[in-house]
Chains A and B, each alone.
Chain A
Amino acid sequence: MTDLFYAYHNVIDLCLLNSMLAFGCFILLGVNLFSLATGGLMAIGAYLSIWLTMQQGWSFAPALTAALVAASLAAFGLGSLVLRLRGDYFTMATLAFTEVVRIIALNWDSVTGGALGVFGIPQLTETWQLAGLLALVIYLIWAVRHSAVGERMRAIAADELAVSTAGHDVARFKLALFTASGAIAGLGGGLAAHLNMFIAPGDFGFLRSVDTVIAPVLGGVWNLAGPVIGASVLVVLPEALRFSAQMREILIGVTMLAVVLFLPAGLVGLPKLSRRRAAS
């Protein structure tokens, strides 16, 4: 019974955490930026926060704040360099960043424990903290989207040139968004590190970045429910398919493919679609 509760509990924590991380990508997808920097930025937040709590004796809240600030600064620096790259070049540069950070982590044994990782991290992350912070992130994004700034965001997604001739600095706007997404990733990294007792550089590589950016695409990139639905599906589906590790990979792949092929608006478009089917 406690086992069951434990597993279940863990799934909820992961849904909350990954939903929050997915919002970091969500705000970027909103202006056509497909970023794979999440893993690297998370790693910065994760390693800084455990170093502070485990070796410097900081308490959790200031350590998380430091993680958030450090990853925002890193995102600001990275963004000022790579945001002028276009399309796939931008995506590749962010991927390169993530991989470089991962490999540095792999080699910096004194802080990161190298490939073996860090064990015995205090489990400070609580479900209510994850829920509260996710709610905060959603509220902030909602508030921005329902303001003139949100309109500017949609305009940038549609036509950057029109927005800049209207007198707005599109580059600065994107940099601000990228920095905000770095804050979310850094915070998420700190929370993730204190959730599992154990982290290793492999947790923050290419696959982490990909899974995070896929969540809003699966869930829906225009709807605030999208990242939550997408991230939750990506957490729950593997759990539900526990009976077979191989079938699990295949079925997750098939689900992703089905969404990409048949649900252009993501999973949030599903009810609308079935209603239309029923009506016709």
Chain B
Amino acid sequence: MTPLLELRSVSRHFGGVAALSNVSFSLPRGAVIGLIGPNGSGKTTLMNVISGVDAPTDGAILLDGAPVQGLPANLLARRGIARTFQHIRLIPDLTALQNVTLALRTPSAGALDILLRLPRLGRIERDRRACGLKLLDQVGAGQHADTLAGGLSYGDRRRIEIARALASEPRLLLLDEPAAGMTHSERTSLRDLIAGLPERGLTVLLVEHDMDLVMGVCDEIHVLNQGNSIASGKPEAVRSDPKVIEAYLGAEDA
């Protein structure tokens, strides 16, 4: 079976800086894959390139075996790639619920429904509201549905962003440091949430600095250092890989 997503020597250069060089790996369907590496190693750049926020300078990205590199973000979202951002990008002056329904795939009202305010409109918007509420409940933020996103705590906003990503019914979910700024108990429920995603048919690529979370939830881990893929394998194997230890220690020394 073809993997859901395959990276073939993907590179991204910013002027002289090689944020990614020749990164290759694939994401098997239904797996939770970890992506770790010291600060500035290219994790976010890789997420950008996969989600169409940015385009690779070189290399190929295959979704279901078909090349998708360089496609715009909205098309990739339609084809099943959703993401969250390291720096949360909720719309502060929309409510939590409105932020989630923004990404729903369920049919939205047509121009005539809206302009003539046909009865159908009420029904469609009620359905969308119900879908959004369900997703908010799943991430444990249901009580904030009608609060403006700008006024919520860090942990809540992170969870709402995950709900928004899930709203587009993705097959691949990219999470960029979802636990950052979360309390201990929030992290525990986040771990349960992520662990349950494969059952719903999702594949997850998780970037995270919280090693307990990564080791606990990932089936496989890839390690980046200065844009190069330096190790990959099962969590236990990666944890004890000397190259990985050196990369992290080297980064801390610097």
Contact = CB atoms under 8 A, between A and B. Distances in A.
Q: Do they bind each other?
A: yes
A164 B72 contact: yes
Interface string A162-206: 111111111000000000000000000000000000000000000
A148 B164 contact: no
A110 interface: no
B38 to A, nearest CB: 26
Nearest to A163: B102
Interface string A133-156: 000000010011001110110110
Interface residues of B, number: 34
A166 B115 contact: no
Contacts of B99: 155
Contacts of B93: 154, 158
B94 A154 contact: yes
B114 A167 contact: no
Given A148-B128, A149-B114, A161-B53, A167 B74 contact: yes
B213 interface: no
Main secondary structure of the interface of A (DSSP, over half): helix
B123 interface: no
A164 B125 contact: no
A3 interface: no
Contacts, number: 75
B74 A151 contact: no
Interface in B68-103: 72-74, 77-78, 82-83, 85, 89-94, 98-99, 101-103
Nearest to A158: B91
A151 B117 contact: no
Contact of A167 (B78, B89, B92, B117): B78
Interface string B125-147: 10010000000000000000000
A164 B108 contact: no
Contacts of A162: 85, 89-91
A19 to B, nearest CB: 20
B102 A165 contact: no
Nearest to B121: A147
Interface of A: 140, 143-144, 147-149, 151-152, 154-155, 158-159, 161-170
26 contacts: A140-B115, A143-B114, A143-B115, A143-B117, A147-B109, A148-B101, A148-B102, A148-B109, A148-B125, A149-B108, A149-B109, A149-B114, A152-B102, A155-B99, A158-B93, A161-B53, A161-B89, A162-B89, A164-B72, A164-B73, A165-B73, A165-B89, A166-B77, A166-B103, A167-B103, A169-B72
